[in-house]
Structure formats: structure tokens, C-alpha cells
Structure 1
């Protein structure tokens, strides 16, 4: 028994050492992201797709319950363990979870960012460049408008896989590990809607989940966003960027519109910050009223489900989580998609045209 315990501790120490070394040594982060993670994700997603429910959600839920109630059971029901041993057991379990999280997916935080992977240079905002981007974006947004009333989930899956296969070689992202990735519905959708989360990446089993309350106009872009996380993308801005690229390249008008709509709030947020009141009002008035009406209805829909108290707690925790994993802007990272789109458009417009398949 004591020998088994020693072996377990040795294995845990080795795994933790691998995690910390990979986080500290850039070349190891690249090796993990480019060579190791694709194998891990293929294996874990092949297993998790066999299950009809989100096993990652269930695993997290049972782990939290275990951490809360195991001390009570060990101390007061079994009456065998001292508090010191109970706390040590809890700490060991958390360390195993920590190692599993990073080895299964989290070490992707140690890879190069979008600019490093693609060699596309960052373009600094200037009033002229931003105005040009916004003008082009609004024209395309208005032209793409269509009334989205239903969700064709298999079609979204096929188009997303095709889109990622199309941009993989040139935009620094892996190809999907399966031709039909299985998306799961979050187990606790009503609670998740209370904190305003529309989708998530389940790192422990490499599965991605979507909120069961998602609206038809949001579903394609959210699907593509979470699929980007499955493909090893950790930055929320980058996941937004890839979802935009995949959806707006689609020949399906509903998916294409969802892509343009997905960054509208980020465009307006940046415009509010960078433009004068007169310029912003002019920009706002150029957007088709049907689109603004839809955006406002979507926002109202989620606000009716949102709990400010629980949502603020979730936002605070997630902000700390992102900052602790090398994303210094925290939750503001979502809106940094505009910088990626501007840099990409400037690069493409100066003779670096992405080949189409």
C-alpha cells in the first residue's frame, strides 16, 4: 500500500513538472500545441463523443460535490481521518485536476499568439484605418441580413468543419479532429443562462458545449467559436476571429449573417471609444434597422435570464482565470477581435491574399 502511494506521488510530481516546464519554456509550449495536443484531442474527443451528454459538466459537478462533502463523510461519518489528512487528500485531488486540465488542453495557453503563428503583423489603430474597417464591415453586415428563424445543426457542423479545413493552413489553426464533431448541450442550461454564458470548452474530455437557450441567429457563430477552442485556441478574441472567418465565408446565408452579427457589439464598443459622438451616431444610423432590432431583442432575451449577482461572481472568477493564463486583458479579450480583424484585413489588402479552396 505504501509503495503504491509513493508511485502515485511520483507520477503526480512528474506530471506537474511537465506542466510547469512547458509553461516556462516557450519551445515546449509550441511542441505541445502543434504536436502533442492534436493527438490528445483526437483521443479524448473520440471517447467523449460516444456519450450523449456533457461528461465534462458532470465530472466538474461531481468533483465539486465530492470536495464539499467528502470532508464531512471522512470526519463525522467514518470518523477515521484527522483534519490534516482530509485537507491533504483534498489538495492532492485538486493537483490531479490541475495536471489533467493543463495536459489535456490548458497548455495551449503557452503557444504563440495569432500574430506569432501566422506571421501577420499587428496593425495599430488609426482613425483612418478604423473608419475604413467599419465602413466595409457595415456594408457587408447590411448585405448579409436574412431572417434566421431556425437552426439546422448538421448543416452548421458541416459548414464549420469545411471552413476550418479551408483556413487551417494559412491562419494558424488545426483542422477538426473529426468530420462531424459532436457538440453537447450544457447540463445546467438554466443556471448557465443566469451567468450569460452561451458556450464552453470542456478541457477534461475535449468536448465543447452550447447553451440550450441559444437563439437561431447566434447558434452558428457560437458553434464555430467553441469549435475553435477545441482546436487549441485559448484566446477569446482569437476564437471570435476564427468564428467570424468561418461563418462569413459560408455559402449559407443564415450562417454568414450570424458571423457578421457576432462581432457587432464589439465593433460598436470600439467605435464608441474611438469616434466622436457625431461620427458614432452616423455609423449607428447606417446599420439596417432590422439588424439593430434583432440585436436589441437578443440582448433583452438574455437579460431576462441573467442574474446580476451570480453573473458578477462568474465574471470576476473568469477574469482572474484568463489573467492567470497569460491573457492580461482578462474578459476584455473578447473585444480584441477587432484588432485581429483589422490586422488581417490590412495584411490581406497589401497583396497577401489568402488562397481559396
Structure 2
């Protein structure tokens, strides 16, 4: 039988692919099905995948993605130019492979994009846009950030390999404990006590694109950039851990990271949680406050923290590539919008609104119970 006929002839796997594709589509389209997937189905899948991938010390997902890209690009060239095979069956085979990757992605993690937003999941009202309320939040935040910095200890900023290894260990412990206590907060409980972040295989390239961490859904892994500085590590670790627990929205992942880290008794982890959202706070302050108010607000923050932020900016800019970054942002923005994430990459800045809404909810709850 000719290769072309073999390729185009329907096989049992094609029926399986069609059924899976239809199932994924229904879960994406039907209201409420995304919540069922996230809280009832995904924990089972995540537990199984992370247990298997955890047996390997390297990022299996990175290897899979790299090999997939090489095959999708290289196979047509090899098949058509070298083996002189017909274009139609060759590209049909590539299309089938991409369809399997699509189904695999959504079945193993991607359907988490279809769950209800955090406001619906925990019965929380969005914070009203108010400059005065933001000023109150921002001032309290600055005071908490300063206090956390003073208590963090030198180990939080040390760059030695021994100190960094200690920060990683403490981050894993604090994150596990923190997420285990978030009952009724719209997120799954940790389902794999042995889960840990793996180092990105292509950290240099990721730094060029400004990527510090990622969720690798195909094998239930989450990875962190090897270039992350010690004081940034705990919050980024907790952020990616939220993704592993089924949180797809970036603003929500930042929120859970903030809650878990700032509630920690570990000074270094606590400071990292506050420090992680500093760019988002300053961005909102710049837009909502007058020039004089913004300058006064900057002075409210410990100058050492501002210096640290400037140092971080220079650190990452030195590794940055504008071409790689813009290319990554373009495709990632399309990816987020394709998964119905409002605002695309702008969802990263949504963390401040979520934190303010959560603080209002907490204050109202305390007021209600005190009556």
C-alpha cells in the first residue's frame, strides 16, 4: 500500500481523536463544565502526571516542546525534499500530530481556562474603582513591604549557592503549607506532596523573553528560570504552584502567590510575596495619583527596596532581547486571548484589583461577625 493512501485512510485513532476533540470542545463551551473539570477531574490527572514526571530530574515538558517544534518544522522538509513524498499526506500527518497536541494540552491542563473567575468561585465582589481606596491600600501595602524587608534577614538577598538552596527549600515548605490552608478560596488543595519546580532547560532563552517561570501542562510540571534571584524565588515559585493546582489566569495566580507568601511565618518568603507585586502597585499608583502624590509615595517606600527594584530591572534587562521578547509576547497574547483571558497579557495587572476585593471581603466578614 502506498504511503499516501496509508496516511489518508481513516484509522481507529482518528475516531478516538475526534471523540476527544469533541469532548474538549464541549467542556470549553458548556457553562459550568470548566468548574467540574478543574475541581473534580484535573486533580486526578495532575496527581498522576506529576507523579510520573517527578521521577525524572529534568523538565520533560521542555524536551517535548523542543522536539515537537523540530519535528513539525523538520518532518515536511525531510519528507518532501529528501524522500520526495507528496505534500498533501505529509501535511495531513503534521496536522494530525498538532491535533493530538491540542487535545492533550486541554485534557491535561488547558481546560482550567474555562472555569469561573475567582469572584464567582469564592463569592467576592470586584473592588470599586476609587483613587481614595487605592491610596489607603497602597499606603498599607508600603508599610507592610517595609516591615517585611526589615524582618527578611540577609539570607533573603544572598546570592551564594548555599543560601539560594536554603531559600528554595524554605519556599517549597512554605508554599505547601500555605496552599494546604486555603480552604474555600477557590483553588484545589495540593495533590502531590512531592511536587517540586524543575529548572527550565532553556533558561537563557527564557530570560531573553522575560519569562521567569511556566506551567508545562503536558506532564504536570512547573518550571522556574535558573536566573531568578533569591528574593524573587519564593513568590515566583508560589505563582507557578498555583498554576499546577489548576489556576490558569495570571492575575489570579499572582493573587494566590501573594496570599500564600505574605501569610508565611518565614521572613524571606513573606518579603518576596509583598515585593512581587511592587511593579503592579507602582503601575497603578502612577496612573491614579498626581505627580506629587506619586513622588511622595515613592518616598514612603524604604529606599533600599527601591534600589533593589532598580537592581532587578538592570539584572533582567542585561539578559533581555527585544526581538525575542516581542515575538514571545505576540504569540503569548494570542494564546491568552484564544483561551478567553480578558485583556490577554494585561491579566497580569489584575492582581491589585483582586487583592483589594479580597481585603474588602475580609474586612466585611470581620465586621459582620463582630456585631
Choose from 6, 16, 21 the match for 2:26: 21
**Cα displacement (A) at 1:329:** 0.9
Gaps of 5+ in 2: none
Could you say what secondary structure the match of 1:119 adopts?
coil
Answer whether contact 1:161 1:180 (CA < 8 A) is retained: no
Give 1:224's aligned residue.
238
Residues of 2 paired with 1:20 and 1:110: CA distance?
A: 11
In the alignment, which residue of structure 2 is the partner of 1:66? 71
Partner residue in 2 for 1:116: 120
Structure 1 residues 154 and 5: alpha-carbon distance in aligned structure 2, compared to 1, 3 A threshold: farther
Corresponding residue for 1:102?
A: 106
2:188 to 158, 165, 174: 174
Partner residue, 1:215:
229
* From 136, 147, 164, the counterpart of 2:179: 164
Contact between 1:157 and 1:180, CA under 8 Å: does it hold in 2?
A: no
How far apart in 2 are the matches of 1:31 and 1:141?
38
Q: How does 1:275-290 map to 2 (within 5 A)?
A: 275-290=289-304
Q: Is the 1:158–1:180 Cα contact (8 Å) retained in structure 2?
A: no
Structure 1 unaligned residues grouped into runs of 5+: none
Residue-by-residue CA offset, 1:283-342 (whole Å, 9 max, x unaligned)? 111000010000110110000000011111111111111111111211111111000000
Question: How far off is 1:128 after superposition?
Answer: 1.8
Q: Where do residues 46-65 of structure 1 align in structure 2 (5 Å cutoff)? A: 46-65=51-70
Partner SS, residue 305 of structure 1: coil
TM-score after normalising by structure 1: 0.96
8 Å Cα contact 2:32-2:116 kept in structure 1: no
> How far apart are the structure 2 equivalents of 1:187 and 1:4?
38
Instruction: Find the aligned partners of 1:296 and 1:194 in 2 and give their Cα distance.
Output: 18
Query: Which piece of structure 1 moves more, 122-131 or 300-309?
Result: 122-131
The question of whether the paired residues in 2 share the 8 Å contact of 1:53 and 1:187 is answered with: yes
1:6 deviation in Å?
Answer: 2.2
Aligned-pair distance for 1:351?
Answer: 2.3
Q: Secondary structure at the match of 1:208?
A: strand
The correspondence for 1:137, drawn from 141, 147, 151, is 141
Partner of 1:311: 325
- The SS at the match of 1:351 is helix
Q: What is the CA distance between 1:120 and its match in structure 2?
A: 1.2
Name the CA distance, whole Å, in 2 between partners of 1:134 and 1:75. Answer: 60
Q: CA RMSD in A?
A: 1.6
Count residues in correspondence. Answer: 352
Question: Which residue of the other structure, out of 315, 324, 344, is the alignment partner of 2:358?
Answer: 344
Aligned to 1:334: 348
Rounded to whole Å, the distance in 1 between the matches of 2:34 and 2:344 is: 21
Q: Following the alignment from structure 2 to structure 1, what is the Cα–Cα distance between the partners of residues 177 and 140?
A: 25
Q: How far has the Cα of 1:5 moved from its partner?
A: 4.4
- Residue aligned with 1:201, SS: strand
Q: Secondary structure at the match of 1:245?
A: helix
